[in-house]
Amino acid sequence: MSKTVENLDEVTVRFAGDSGDGMQLIGTQLSDTSGFAGNEVNTFPDYPSEIRAPEGTLYGVSAFQVHFGTKNIKTTGDFIDVLVAMNASSLKVNLPNLREHGVIIVNTGGFDEKNLKLAAYSSNPLENGSLEKYQVFAIDMFDEIKKELDGLNLNPKLIKRTKNIFALGIVYWMFDRPIEPSVAWINKKFKGKDEIVLANVKVLKAGWNFAQKNPVFKKQYQIKRASLEPGKYRNITGNQAVALGLVVASRKANIPLFLGSYPITPASEILHAISGYKKYGVKHLQAEDEIAGITSAIGAAFGGYLAATTTSGPGLSLKTEAIGLAIITELPLVIVNVQRAGPSTGLPTKPEQGDLLQAMYGRHGEAPMPVLAAASASDCFNMTVEAARLALKYMTPVILLTDGYIGQATEPWKIPGMEELPDLTPEFAKDPAAFAPYKRDPDTLSRPWAIPGTQGLEHRIGGLEKADVTGHVSHDPMNHQKMVELRKEKIEGIVNDIPELELTGDKEGDLLVLSWGSTYGAAKTAYDKLIDEGHKLSFAHLKYIHPFPKNLGEILFSFKRILIPEMNMGQLKTIIQSTYLVPVIGMNKVQGKPFKAIEIEEKILELLNQKES
């Protein structure tokens, strides 16, 4: 059957249905397959807080968005081009974000009277003409699947569960995706369960063939391979990248890794991933609570391990006292906070950047520590290795901020060679004659790292203040003043060991867009688009929050106006204004959703137009 073929530079596909419909699964498959096909990819899983929300409800809709294309895919896509809706509620929730004339693929089995009522539809949108401005493909997927699997004597529940795979097959045909990677994945995932393998493979091919043979599917779209820098790539989530970063850092440091953590959304996948690296000598503890997680890691650091703990906002709150312990004992520790919307339980499956002030100041006493922030899913690897480097070199805990967006998002990651990474080998104390537990390195002000049990290097650590050099418990007020100042000076000295802030665009001018964390993708996309259109502005992105890069002040003073978009109510804005005494324009979003590039673009244009008027 003759079909037309159209080339596209990029497309955004969103799968939506009930929590049990497997939207995350097929979204991940489309993402991985698109990466396999050579496209740049960025994804966003969007699921409810309930483990299994009531079927058919508006608040129970689970979705997975995939943005893939030939170049510059830094966001999950501002608008949906193709919406796959498994029921009425998933259509209603996602329709406002569907591009006009966009494609809707719906499972008509999810539009019965019950589902329409749960979605608060007074009439069926597939029949009342309300979808006229879209291309609608209404398919009874369950009926098509039953035809394909007829005669195999399969469990009806199994047949029904494959409707997501059928929808995936349709999308694979529509965008000329190869099905072989998903067939291989099905065989691996369900190895030994021949009935499940057979059903899913047949249904995947059935979805492809349905679109290929059905005359209503008149057009197929092709997206050329991206011109990526030569190298070996894999698709990776931010959480996977953190786990890999920790493992690789321990290998570069030539010391074992210990992760002590308590599961918490959206950070739990780091713990899951780490558990798969036991063959590399990795040890992990799924602790009974957050406090046990971090204190076990502090114990491992005392014993000479590269130690880490992972959490989200509420867990970071519970770890606060122990973070202070790590600071006063001056032990290396990587603390990863995959931020989520708060306060309290808040929106536990949604992203936010609301923990910046907590990371900077959320401890009692004078307790400074380095704070880093990853810019994207793949950058989580680089910044995890960097956090480990600073922790080991300066004998300090380090906080790395990511969030639920980049932690669970997917993008291509160029796998580096081990020789490309910095040497992280620590220097352990060995000479008893020269050893004193708080005798500091003149360059880094770090104290020596002595492995317990080493003869002649006996020393004490703990939460009480220690005397300078000797490490004896001290209540001397002048010694406390000195130790506080030394710990502060040590952290501030890291400014000489981190890169200067990179400025894109003119070195001075009217408007600087300054982003941090996961706002990078949307802010940089908006900036690039406006520069291509001939507008005058500059851009910079912060990965080092404490200490700030040494040239940040010089850059800030070179611009009349500074715009900071962030997923909070202005936390970086507050820090920047108080540190440099410059006015900052805040752009704040706390909706449990990442910024769209168009939102930042419109704000920039508003500011540029104010100048012109």
pLDDT digits (tens, 9 = 90+) for 193-232: 999 999 999 999 999 999 999 999 999 999 999 988 889 9
| Residue 129, domain extent | 4-223
185 exposed, middle or buried (CB, 10 Å; 0-12, 13-18, 19+)?
middle
pLDDT at residue 337 greater than cutoff 90:
yes
Smallest CA-to-CA distance from 376 within 424, 349, 408, 415 is with 408
604 exposed, middle or buried (CB, 10 Å; 0-12, 13-18, 19+)?
buried
The CATH number linked to 572 is 3.40.50.920
Residues ≥6 apart with Cβ < 8 Å to 80: 12, 13, 14, 65, 94, 97, 98, 99, 102
- pLDDT score, position 229: 86
Q: 217 and 189, same structural domain? A: yes
Say if CB 291 and CB 430 are below 8 A apart: no
**114 token code pair:** 């019950």
Sign of CA dihedral 465, 470, 476, 479: negative
> DSSP letter at 229?
P
Asked if residue 228 belongs to a domain, the reply is no
Q: 266 and 340, same structural domain? A: yes
Asked if residue 427 belongs to a domain, the reply is no
**220 token code pair:** 């197929």
Per the prediction, the chain carries an average pLDDT of 96
Q: 478 and 536, same structural domain? A: no
Q: How many CB atoms lie within 10 A of CB 146?
A: 14
Domain end marker among 223, 252, 281: 223
- pLDDT score, position 612: 59
pTM here is 0.95
Q: 488 and 458, same structural domain? A: yes
- pLDDT score, position 613: 53
C-alpha pair distances (Å), 561 with each of 508, 511, 535, 611, 613: 10, 5, 15, 10, 16
- pLDDT score, position 414: 94
Asked if residue 348 belongs to a domain, the reply is yes
User: In whole angstroms, what separates CA 56 from the centre of its chain?
Assistant: 28
Q: 489 and 507, same structural domain? A: no
Q: 371 and 397, same structural domain? A: yes
Domain count, the chain: 4
Percent of the chain whose pLDDT exceeds 70: 100
Q: 13 and 89, same structural domain? A: yes
**439 token code pair:** 């005798």
**595 token code pair:** 């910024």
Which residue matches tokens 């990853």? 374
Distance, CA of 411 to CA of 110 (rounded, Å): 32
Paired strand residues for 124: none
pLDDT band, residue 379 (cuts 50/70/90)? very high
SS3 assignment, position 137? strand
Which residue matches tokens 């966003």? 44
Q: 241 and 218, same structural domain? A: no
pLDDT at residue 366 greater than cutoff 60:
yes
Q: 168 and 265, same structural domain? A: no
Say if CB 251 and CB 384 are below 8 A apart: no
Q: Which of 171-180, 221-230, 304-313, 569-578 has the lowest mean pLDDT?
A: 221-230
SS3 assignment, position 594? coil
Mean pLDDT score, 10-34: 95
Domain end marker among 497, 531, 549: 497
Q: How many CB atoms lie within 10 A of CB 479?
A: 15
Q: 546 and 466, same structural domain? A: no
Total residues belonging to the chain: 613
Distance, CA of 408 to CA of 420 (rounded, Å): 26
Q: 347 and 436, same structural domain? A: no
